[in-house]
Amino acid sequence: MLDEPTSGLDPLMEQLFQHCVRQAAAAGRTVLLSSHILAEAETLCESVTIIKDGRLVESGQLAGMRHLAASAITAQVPTGQVPAVTDRLRSAGLGDPGAEAGRLRLNVPRQQVAAVLEVLADADAQDITCTPATLEDLFLRHYETVAR
């Protein structure tokens, strides 16, 4: 059981710590890690539990929980096509993208990713990225946050 184990460690010691945790897990040991460093937990953990106000609010395999939050999609669309692409996404119920200088950004449920990518491909979009929900996204669903 480890509580905030990397607090104060330099990057080299963090790498060594992660290596040791992976070795222990590979040897069949269970490692319980309590941390507010969500990127680290996401890197090391297969299962996660989110606690709010002392109560368990979400628990399970991280891979299986990703469907609970939206995937982030960004793409560079030819400037002249932005209005048409935005209208097509909205009318199909696929989201309301933000756009700046032809760069579209939107968050969509996992089951809508393929449809959004199809619209973007039809518009000859470039530099398309699709990032699944992170542990931070899952965590923030349960907490009031300041707008990012």
Model-level pTM greater than 0.75? Answer: no
Q: Under a CB-based contact definition with an 8 Å cutoff, are residues 116 and 73 in contact?
A: yes
pLDDT digits (tens, 9 = 90+) for 47-82: 888 888 889 988 888 877 776 778 889 999 988 888
Both tokens assigned to 27: 């040897």
- Of 116, 114, 105, 119, the C-alpha closest to 148 is 105
Inform me whether the pLDDT recorded for 118 exceeds 80: yes
The CATH code of the domain at 70-132 is 3.30.70.120
pLDDT value of position 74? 93
Residue written as tokens 């999609």? 73
Structural domain boundaries in the chain: 2-65, 70-132
